[in-house]
């Protein structure tokens, strides 16, 4: 891939569940949304999700390979909503809540 760097967007690695992609975006949340859009377009209803997504700014990591500050986590329901998948966002947020409640219940026993 060749592109002209106009400094308005950077490359981000987007990692979620069993898929990953590289997108050009303005920030980590934009990258998460674009990653969700790409994965949903490719996998459709078979897209797997995790509660959070790991977003890595590739441009910044290359500039400073020792900088963990350029790695971001984005809450998956927020990225789903930003990608226009509002129903799936709400459903997945409910799943996460149920998992948290189940985990808290098992700890209290």
pLDDT, tens only, 59-100: 887 777 666 676 788 999 999 999 999 999 999 999 999 998
What mean pLDDT comes out for the span 23-52? Answer: 96
Which position has the token pair 């990953």?
A: 20
What mean pLDDT comes out for the span 39-66? Answer: 89
The candidate with the shortest Cα–Cα distance to 31, out of 81, 89, 93, 79, is 79
Q: Is residue 26 classed as helix, strand or coil in its secondary structure?
A: coil
* Global model pTM greater than 0.75: no
Token pair belonging to 50: 């995790």
Question: Within the chain, what is the greatest distance between any pair of CA atoms?
Answer: 58
Q: Please give the mean pLDDT across all residues of the chain.
A: 89
Instruction: Return the C-alpha torsion angle 61, 82, 38, 41, nearest 10.
Output: 170
């Amino acid at each position: 891939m060749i592109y002209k760097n106009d400094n308005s967007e950077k490359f981000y690695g987007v990692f979620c569940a069993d898929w990953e992609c590289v997108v050009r975006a303005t920030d980590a949340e934009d990258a998460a949304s674009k990653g969700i859009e790409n994965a949903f377009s490719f996998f459709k209803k078979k897209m797997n999700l995790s509660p959070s997504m790991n977003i890595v700014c590739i441009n910044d990591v290359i500039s400073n390979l020792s900088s963990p500050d350029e790695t971001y986590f984005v809450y998956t329901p927020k990225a789903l909503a930003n990608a226009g998948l509002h129903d799936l966002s709400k459903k997945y947020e409910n799943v996460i809540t149920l998992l948290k409640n189940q985990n808290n219940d098992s700890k209290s026993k």
